[in-house]
Structure 1
Amino acid sequence: MFYQNKNIIVIVTGSIAAFKAAVLVRYLIEQGAQVRVSLTAAGAKFVGPLTFSTLTKYPVLQDIFDQNDGQVLHVKWARWADYIFVVPATADFLAKAANGLADDAASSTLLASSARKIAAPAMNDQMWENQATKRNVKQLKKDGWLIIEPVVGFLAEGYDAKGRLPEPEDIILQAQVRLLAEKVL
C-alpha cells in the first residue's frame, strides 16, 4: 500500500465539502498511514475537531500557539510529515499558500514543512474560474504542489458546475498515481 507507514497531515479548510475530509482521513488510516489533522477556524465551522481526533487518535491542531513538551506543535508536525493534503482547499487558503502567508496553525505548518503538498480545491465555479485563483493554482504547481482539480457536480449554490470536491477515494488514488508516475520519470 502506497500510504503505509507514511506520516500525513490533512489540513481541513472552510468549505461545505469539509465533511469529505473525515472520509479521506479514514481511508488513509485504513491504508496504514499515520494521520494528523490541522483544522482552520473556518473548517471548524463545518466539521468539529472531535470528529478528527476520534478518527486519528491525535489532538487536532487549531491554534498556532499550541505546544507539546515545550515544542512548537506546528513546527514539530511540519518536520514529521511526509505528505500534507489540503482537503478541501478553499480559494482563500490557496491564495495564502501561493503567497507564503502563515497567519494560522495550518498555513504556518505548510510554510514550515518540506513535505510533499497535495491540494484538492472545492469552491463555487466562479471562484474556481477567477483569474486570481488560476494564478494562485499556477504558482502552487510551479512550487511543486500536486493539484487534484475539482469536478463538475452539484454545488452548494444549487446547480451543476466545476468546483465540487472529488470523492475522497478519487483524491487518494489520483495523488497515488501521480506521485508514483513522478518517481518513474
Structure 2
Amino acid sequence: MKKNIVLGVTGSIAAYKTADIANTLTKKGFNVEVIMTRSAMEFVTPLTFQSLTKNKVYYDMFEEITPSEIKHISLAKKADLCLIAPASANILGKLANGIADDMLSTVVMAMCNVPVYICPAMNTNMYNNPIVQRNINTLSQLGYHFIEPKEAVLACGDLGKGALADVDRIVSTVEARFHPL
C-alpha cells in the first residue's frame, strides 16, 4: 500500500535540496504532498515540487475552502508521516509554542498520531541559539523526531553545524520508519 508523506518546506537556502528528497521519495513509491511556507517560495517554486510529485502543492490555508473538505484537516488525516525539510528556526518556534498561522504549522498541529520528522537547516549561530535549542528540546520531549543537521561550510560562508542532513540520510530515515530492519 502506498504511504502518504506530507513534506513541509520552509524558508532556508537548503530548500532546493528538498526537491531531491521529494523526487526520490516519489520514485520509491511514496505519495508526497508538499506544503510550502511563503518564505520557502522565495527559494524554490511550487511548480518544481508539483512537477516532481505529480501532486498539487499547498501554501495558502484559505485557497481551497469547500463545504465538503477542510484541507488542513484532510491532509493531516491522510498522512502516514510528516517530514519538514528544511526546518527553519521560525517553524521550530511556531511548533514548539503551538502557533498555527500558516498551512504547514496548521497541518502539523492537526497531526496527533502521525510521526513528524524535522530536519533543521540554518546558520550555526541560529542553530546554537539557546531559544532554538530550547524549542528543539521541547519538540523532542513531545515526541517529534529530529534528523540532525551536519557540519559544513554554510551558504553564508561560516563553517559549523547547521547544514541540512544529506538527502540519502533523510530518505533512508523515512524508509526505515515503514520498513524497519
Shorter-chain TM-score bucket reads over 0.9
- Specify the alignment match of 2:80 in structure 1: 82
- Specify the alignment match of 1:100 in structure 2: 98
Q: Aligned partners of 2:166 and 2:83: how far apart in 1?
A: 14
Q: Aligned partners of 1:138 and 1:66: how far apart in 2?
A: 34
- Specify the alignment match of 1:163 in structure 2: 162
Q: Aligned partners of 1:52 and 1:68: how far apart in 2?
A: 22
Q: State the Cα distance separating 1:23 from its structure 2 match.
A: 0.4
Q: Aligned partners of 1:176 and 1:57: how far apart in 2?
A: 20
Q: What is the TM-score with the length of structure 2 in the denominator? A: 0.93
Matches within 5 A, 1:23-172: 23-67=20-64, 70=67, 71-114=69-112, 115-172=114-171
- Residues 40 and 129 of structure 1: is their aligned pair in 2 closer, same or farther, counting only changes over 3 Å? same
Counterpart selection for 1:19 from 16, 19, 23: 16
Q: Aligned partners of 1:97 and 1:58: how far apart in 2?
A: 25
- Aligned Cα root-mean-square deviation (Å): 1.7
Q: What is the TM-score with the length of structure 1 in the denominator? A: 0.91
> Is residue 37–residue 61 contact of structure 1 (8 Å, CA) maintained in 2?
yes
> Is residue 124–residue 158 contact of structure 2 (8 Å, CA) maintained in 1?
no
Q: State the Cα distance separating 1:66 from its structure 2 match.
A: 2.8
Secondary structure of residue in 1 paired with 2:23: helix
> Is residue 119–residue 146 contact of structure 1 (8 Å, CA) maintained in 2?
yes
Secondary structure of residue in 2 paired with 1:85: strand
Q: State the Cα distance separating 1:180 from its structure 2 match.
A: 6.8
Q: State the Cα distance separating 1:166 from its structure 2 match.
A: 1.2
* Aligned sequence identity (%): 37
Q: Aligned partners of 2:65 and 2:52: how far apart in 1?
A: 20
What runs of 5+ residues in structure 2 fail to find an aligned partner? none
Deviation digits for residues 101-157 of structure 1 (CA, Å, limit 9, x no counterpart):
100011001001131100000000011111111110011111111100110011011
Q: Aligned partners of 2:84 and 2:126: how far apart in 1?
A: 17
Q: State the Cα distance separating 1:56 from its structure 2 match.
A: 1.2
Deviation digits for residues 48-89 of structure 1 (CA, Å, limit 9, x no counterpart):
000011111111111111326531211110111010000000
Q: State the Cα distance separating 1:5 from its structure 2 match.
A: 1.4
Counterpart selection for 2:2 from 1, 5, 13: 5
Equivalenced residues, count: 179
